[in-house]
Amino acid sequence: MSAIKGFSEETFTTGNHSLILYGKGDGPGVILLHELPGLTQDTVEFAEWIAGHGFHVVVPLLFGRPLQHPMLGLLKAPFVCIRKEFNNLSAGKSSPITIVLRALCRKIHSERGGPGVGAVGMCYTGGFIFAMMVEAALLAPVAAQPSLPFFQPGALDVEPEKLALASSRTDTMSLLGLRFEDDFRCPAARFERLESSLRNPAGPTGSRFHSVVVPGKGHSTLTFDYQKALDRGVDTRERVIKHLRTQLLDPDSPFR
C-alpha cells in the first residue's frame, strides 16, 4: 500500500543507493524533485496537477517522510544539509545524488517511452537539474528557484565541464528557469550565469535556456508561493506545462 493515496509506490536501486518512488498518471515521464521542507502536501498537489495534464509524474523521496509538515522539514534541514549526497557550499561541484537521478531518468524513459523525460527541481533541488542535463534521456529540464550553493549568488552547483557538455548537445534539450525578481536565495546573477553558459542553440532554431521572472518578492514559484505568482500575472505552472508539452508530447497529442 502506498504512503500517498492515489500514487503507486516502488523502490528504485542503483549502485548502493535506493530511493522510494511515488508515481501517478499516463504519458511521458516527468520527475518531480521536492523542496527542502520535504515531500509535503503542496508538492503532492503539484504532482497531481502535472499528472492531470498528460504526463506520468514520478516523485522520489530524497529526505524526510512523505506528507510531512513543512515546519518539521525545516527543523530537520541542518541534518539534510550535512549528508554526503548533497553539496551545499562548493561552487562548480554537483551533488552525488545527481548520479542516481540521471539513472532514474533512464529508467523512466525506458518504461514510459516517448522522445525523452522531463525533470523539475525546486529550491534546494533546483540545481540538481544542471548536472542531470548531461543525461540524453532528459529533454525537458526545469529549475525552479535553484538555491545552491548557499551564499554565492553567481555560482552554480555543477561542474563547468558538465554544463558545457549540456550546452553542446545536438538535440532539442532546453532548460526552463523560474524565480521571483527579489529572491535573495535565487538571485539574478545565477540566471545570468546560466544564460552565459548555455549559449548553444537547442536543435536548429530553439534556445537552450528560457527564464521566467515573477515580479516582486517570493520564493517557491510552483508550490508555496504559486498564488503570489498568479496575483502578479504569471502562471508559473502553465509555463512549466507548456515547456513539457513542447519538449515531450507528439504534435498531434490532445494534451498539447
| Mean pLDDT (the chain, rounded) | 92
For the chain, what is the domain count? 1
pLDDT digits (tens, 9 = 90+) for 128-155: 999 999 999 999 999 999 999 988 999 9
All three cell numbers of 250, joined, read: 507528439
Contacts of 97 (CB under 8 A, 6+ apart): 17, 62, 85, 86, 128
Does residue 105 lie within any of the structural domains? yes
pLDDT digits (tens, 9 = 90+) for 38-51: 899 999 999 999 99
Does residue 256 lie within any of the structural domains? no
> What pLDDT is recorded for position 69?
75
SS3 of 229, please? helix
DSSP state of 4: S
What percent of the chain lies above the pLDDT cut of 90?
81
Do 65 and 253 form a contact (C-beta atoms < 8 A)?
no
Q: Which domain holds residue 185?
A: 8-248
pLDDT digits (tens, 9 = 90+) for 48-83: 999 999 999 999 999 888 998 776 655 555 555 547
Q: Is the pLDDT score of 198 beyond 50? A: yes
Q: Measure CA 238 to chain center.
A: 15
> What pLDDT is recorded for position 75?
53
Does residue 1 lie within any of the structural domains? no
The CA angle 174-8-34, to the nearest 5 degrees, is 45
CATH number at residue 80: 3.40.50.1820
Grid look-up 523539475 returns: 120
Q: Which H or E run includes 18?
A: strand 17-24
Of residues 75 and 160, the one with the higher pLDDT is: 160
Does residue 2 lie within any of the structural domains? no
Does residue 253 lie within any of the structural domains? no
d(CA 73, CA 45): 17
Does residue 24 lie within any of the structural domains? yes
Does residue 180 lie within any of the structural domains? yes
d(CA 46, CA 123): 15
Does residue 224 lie within any of the structural domains? yes
- Tell me the C-alpha to C-alpha distance, in Å, between residue 128 and each of 43, 71, 146, 155: 17, 23, 8, 13
